[in-house]
Amino acid sequence: MLDLEKSEKLKIIEEKAYALGFDGFGITSPETGEAGTNFSQWLSLGYAGEMAYMARGEEKRRDTNLVLEGVKSIICLRTNYFTTEKGMDFLDLPEKGDISLYALNKDYHDIITPRLKELEKNIQEGFADCKTKIYVDTGPLLEKPLAQRAGLGWIGKHTNLISQGIGSWYFLSEILIDVELPESEVAENHCGTCRSCIDICPTDAIVAPYVLDSKKCISYLNIELKGVIPIEFRKAIGNRIYGCDDCQIVCPWNSYAVKTDEPAFKGVDGNFLLTELILMDDEEFRRRFKGSPIKRIKRRGLLRNVAVALGNSKNTKAVPFLIKALEDKEPLIRAHIVWALGELLLSESISLLDEKLAAEVEPMVLQELDVLRQRFLV
Least confident window among 121-125, 168-172, 247-251, 270-274: 270-274
H or E segment at 170?
Answer: strand 170-177
Q: Which residue, among 111, 169, 135, has the nearest Cα to 291 in the 3D structure?
A: 111
Q: What is the pLDDT of residue 163?
A: 96
Query: Among 160, 161, 188, which Cα is nearest to 24's?
Result: 161
Domain spans in the chain, listed from the N-terminal domain onward: 1-266, 274-378
What angle, 0 to 180 degrees and rounded to 10, lies between the N-to-C axes of helices 331-345 and 363-377? Answer: 10
Mean pLDDT on 285-309 = 95
> Could you give the CA distance from residue 306 to residue 275 in angstroms, rounded to a whole number?
9
Active site residues: 137
Q: Look at residue 313 in the predicted model and tell me its pLDDT.
A: 98
For the chain, first and last CA: distance in Å?
77
3-state secondary structure of 64: helix
| Stretch 64-92: mean pLDDT | 96
Which of 137, 183, 176, 140 has the alpha carbon at shortest distance from 160?
137
Per-residue confidence (pLDDT) for residue 162, from 0 to 100: 98
Q: Where does residue 161 fall: left (phi above 0), alpha (psi -120 to 50 degrees), or beta otherwise?
A: beta
For the chain, the 3-state helix, strand and coil shares in percent, each to the nearest 5, are 50, 10, 40
**Is the pLDDT at 345 greater than 60, yes or no?**
yes
CA 96 to chain centre: 20
pLDDT at site 165: 87
Residue 1's pLDDT band, with cuts at 50, 70 and 90, is: very low
- For the stretch 125-174, pLDDT in tens is 999 999 999 999 888 999 999 999 999 999 999 999 999 989 999 999 99
Residue-wise pLDDT for 23-67, tens only, equals 999 999 999 999 999 999 999 999 999 999 999 999 999 999 999
Classify 208 as helix, strand or coil.
Answer: strand
Asked if pLDDT for residue 2 goes beyond 60, the answer is no
Mean pLDDT of 327-339: 98
